[in-house]
Amino acid sequence: MTENQKKVSIINRKLLIYLIVPALISLIFVWGYFFGDLRVQELVAPRINREYGLLENLQNLGLLALIALAVYGLTRKRLCFEIVILICILAGGIFLFMEEIDYGRLHYRYLSGDPIDDRVKDAEGKGSDWNIHNQDNINQLFKRTLDMGMIAFFIIFPLVSWKSTNRLIRYLRPDPWFILTMVTMLAVSRYSKALNRAGLGMEGALQANTAKFREIIVYYVFFIYLLTFIFRRRYVSRSEIQQIKY
């Protein structure tokens, strides 16, 4: 394989990981929800409760994969700051997973034959009594904080530190190709909102919450970063460098 062929192969792989896969996963659900018939829409996000649909449960599987990966990472990484990072990711993943499944209530009620009906809950004007992030004021704060954090870490950080020679910065810095994934996430969010405003998918479970289509990309971003952090990155300490030199 020539040098040019290697470069093309690397670019194709990057495009697959950072653009094609996240875009396709999200768009399949967008198209199924807005352009599919009622059966497809119900499969993506049932009107009785969107939490019982494929979209939400794929997100839950993504969070479980993130949690499992963080646990595995603790068996591979040895440095103190690496362990702290993995513990923080693990704690955050567990918290988000428990929030998403309403601390087990959603699936317990479903398996017991008494699923939680969002239509009744909305008619009565009641939010979830079990989780935190779905409370109106907290939900918006949570989304803004997450958005600003992801923009800072996955867009600004790689750009401003691109020429840095600091070993720690180079070790933690996300691949600049994540910028493409972030742009994809924004595009999917705008696209789903535009379809909703155009009157498609009306009366569906996600009529007032099209942000769910981009959440799956959010979890994908963190999963790919953690995968890279654990398997493709290794921090070389100053003492190791000195040993190599001498």
Q: Per-residue pLDDT tens for 23-45?
A: 999 999 999 999 988 899 999 99
Q: 29: closest CA among 220, 176, 175, 224?
A: 220
**What pLDDT, on a 0 to 100 scale, did the predictor assign at position 133?**
66
What are the boundaries of each domain within the chain? 3-237
Query: Count of alpha carbons within 13 Å of 211, Cβ hemisphere only?
Result: 11
Q: How many Å apart are CA 127 and CA 61, to the nearest integer? A: 24
pLDDT of residue 143: 84
- pTM assigned to the model: 0.89
Q: Compute the distance between CA of residue 125 and CA of residue 102 in angstroms, rounded to an integer.
A: 18
pLDDT of residue 106: 83
Name every residue whose Cβ is closer than 8 Å to that of residue 178 and which is 6 or more positions away in sequence: 18, 154, 155, 158, 221, 224, 225
- What residues of the chain score a pLDDT lower than 50? 122-127, 246
pLDDT (0 to 100) of residue 124: 44
Place of tokens 């109106």: 136
